[in-house]
Amino acid sequence: MKKFLIMLLPFFMASNCSEVKTPQEHQLTVKGGQKFNIELPANLTTGYQWTVCNYTPASGIILKKYKYKIDKGAGKDKKFVGGPGKEIFSFKAEDVANEVTIKLFFNKIRPWENEPVETVDYSIKLLPEAESDND
Domain chopping of the chain, boundaries? 23-133
Mention the CATH class of domain 23-133: mainly beta
**Sequence-ordered alpha helix ranges (H) in 17-119:** none
Strand 24-31 vs strand 118-127: parallel, antiparallel, or unpaired? parallel
Q: Residue 37 belongs to what H/E stretch?
A: strand 35-42
Report, in angstroms and rounded to the nearest whole number, the Rg of the chain calculated over CA atoms.
20
The per-residue pLDDT for 13 is: 30
Question: Mean pLDDT, to the nearest integer, of 68-79?
Answer: 69
Give the model confidence (pLDDT) of 26-52 as tens digits: 899 999 999 999 999 999 889 999 999
Contact 65, 35 (CB under 8 A): no
Give the model confidence (pLDDT) of 51-67 as tens digits: 998 887 778 899 999 99
Residue 2: strand, helix, or coil: helix
Identity of the amino acid at 4: F
With cut-offs at 50, 70 and 90, classify the pLDDT of residue 131: low
Distance from C-alpha of 76 to C-alpha of 35, rounded to nearest angstrom: 31
Question: Mean pLDDT, to the nearest integer, of 63-78?
Answer: 77
